[in-house]
Amino acid sequence: MKHERRHSVYSQHPPGSEIIFRVPATDLTFVDRLIVSVSSLTIIGSVVWVPACIAWAWRRWKIVKDKRRKALYAALAIATSILLAVGPHRSPHFGKTLQVRKWRLWQAWLRFIAMEVISDTASNKRSIDVKEEKAILAFVPHGIFPFAFAFAALPDIAQSAAFGVFRPVVASATALFPIVRDFLSWCAAIDASKSSVDNVLSKGERIGIVPGGIAEIFEGYPKPMTSPNEEYSIVRKGFLRMAIKHNLPVIPIYAFGATKMMKRLDLPLLETISRWLRISIVLFFGVWGLPIPFRQRLSYVIGRPIQPPSHGSGDEEQVRAMQDLFCQELERIFNRHKEAYGWGHKTLKLLKQ
C-alpha cells in the first residue's frame, strides 16, 4: 500500500505538524468499495442478521414433528453455540496464524477512509516516538461505530507506521456481538474492567482506549439542544487514575471524521436502556439505510503526552488536574487542525465525568 511519511508541505496544515502516515484518497478502486460494503454487511450487520438467523432457525425447529430430528437439531445448535462462544478460534494465537492484521481487507478500508496520521508534538519539551513510548493511547471520539479506533488497532501497517503495537480496551458488551468479538479476540483486545486493564499495564504492555466509551454515541447531534456544528467527547477519569498508578503518560489522539461515518436516530428511551444495561442499543444507518458507512476521510492528530504527576498518589486533586491538562490538549489539537480538515466552523465540546 502506498503511504507517505514527510513533513507537511500543505499550507493548510499548522506549522510544526508532521504527516507520519497518509493513504491517498485517489487510490480507492471498485474492488475496494466492494470489499468495504460486503465486510460491513457481514461484520457490522451481524448485530442484525445473526439474531435473525437464530430466530428463523428457532421457528423452523418448532415446526419439526419428528422427535429424533428435533433432538438432533437441538444438539447441533447447542454444540455450535458452545463452539462459537468458547472455541479455540477466538484465541489471539489463532489470529496470528491467520495473519489477520495483514489481510487485504484492511488495505481496502484504509483507502476508503483515506487514513492520515499527523503528529503535533514538535513543541513538546522532549521528542517522543509514539510507536515505542510506554503510554496509554487515548483515541477521541468514539463515533456511532468505533471505526477510528478499529483502524488504529487492527491493520498491521497502521501500527507499524503510526501508532505502534497496543492492546485495545473494549467494552464488556462487545462479547455479545458475533464476529465483532472474534476480531477483537484476534487482536488481543482486553475488557474495560478495572482489574483487566490494571493487570495488562502491570505487565508493561501498551493499551489504547476510547475515554468516552459507548456513552459518547448518544452525545451530539441529533440530540436535542445540540448543533451539527458541534463535536462532543466525554472525558472520564478512570483511565487517568490508571495512568497515575502506573506512572504512564497519556497521549491524546483526535480522529477527525470519526463521528460522520454513520448516522443515528435520536430515541431517548434506547439511550436510557443502554445506560442501564451498559451496552449500546442504537438505531444507526449508513449508505442506502444499510450498515455500510459513508465515505469519510479520517485524519488522526497526535497531541503532546500528558505526563502523570511525579510521586503521584492518585488522589482526586491529581486526577482532576491531569483531566484538565488532557482536555486542554484535545482542544489545542482540535482547534489547530480543524481548518485543515475543513471543519473551521465546528467547535469541540468536552464533557468531564
pLDDT tens across 56-107, in order? 777 777 777 777 777 777 777 777 777 666 666 667 777 778 788 888 999 9
Interatomic CA distance for residues 316 and 130, integer angstroms: 28
pLDDT of the residue at 127: 60
Note the residue count of the chain.
353
For 323-340, b/e burial (b = at least 16 CB within 10 A) is: bebbbebbbbbbebbbeb
Whole-model pTM: value is 0.88
Place of cell 456544528: 229
Report residue 122: phi and psi, to 5°: -60, -35
Alpha helices in the chain (DSSP H): 30-39, 46-63, 67-86, 92-98, 104-112, 147-153, 156-158, 180-186, 194-202, 238-245, 268-277, 316-341
For 189-201, b/e burial (b = at least 16 CB within 10 A) is: bbbbeeeebeebb
Interatomic CA distance for residues 332 and 323, integer angstroms: 14
Report residue 54: phi and psi, to 5°: -65, -45
Give the closest residue to 168 by CA, choosing from 143, 145, 185, 144: 185
- Tens of pLDDT, residue by residue over 302-351, are 999 999 988 767 788 999 999 999 999 999 999 999 999 999 999 999 99
* Residue 61 contacts residue 74 (beta carbons within 8 Å): yes
pLDDT of the residue at 11: 43
pLDDT 10s digit of each residue in the chain, 353 long?
555 444 443 447 788 888 888 888 777 899 999 999 999 998 888 878 877 877 777 777 777 777 777 777 777 777 777 766 666 666 777 777 878 888 899 999 999 999 999 998 766 555 677 888 899 999 999 998 899 999 999 999 998 889 999 999 988 777 667 788 888 888 888 988 899 999 999 999 999 999 988 888 888 888 888 889 999 999 999 999 999 999 999 999 999 999 999 998 887 777 777 767 666 777 888 999 999 999 999 999 999 999 998 876 778 899 999 999 999 999 999 999 999 999 999 999 999 98
pLDDT of the residue at 225: 86
pLDDT of the residue at 332: 95
Report residue 292: phi and psi, to 5°: -115, 120
Which long-range contacts link 56-65 to residues 24+ away (Cβ below 8 Å)? none
Structural domains in the chain, CATH included, are 18-352 (3.40.1130)
pLDDT of the residue at 6: 43
Q: Please tell me what DSSP assigns to residue 233.
A: E
pLDDT of the residue at 126: 57
User: How many Cα atoms occupy the beta-carbon half-sphere of 239 within 13 Å?
Assistant: 30
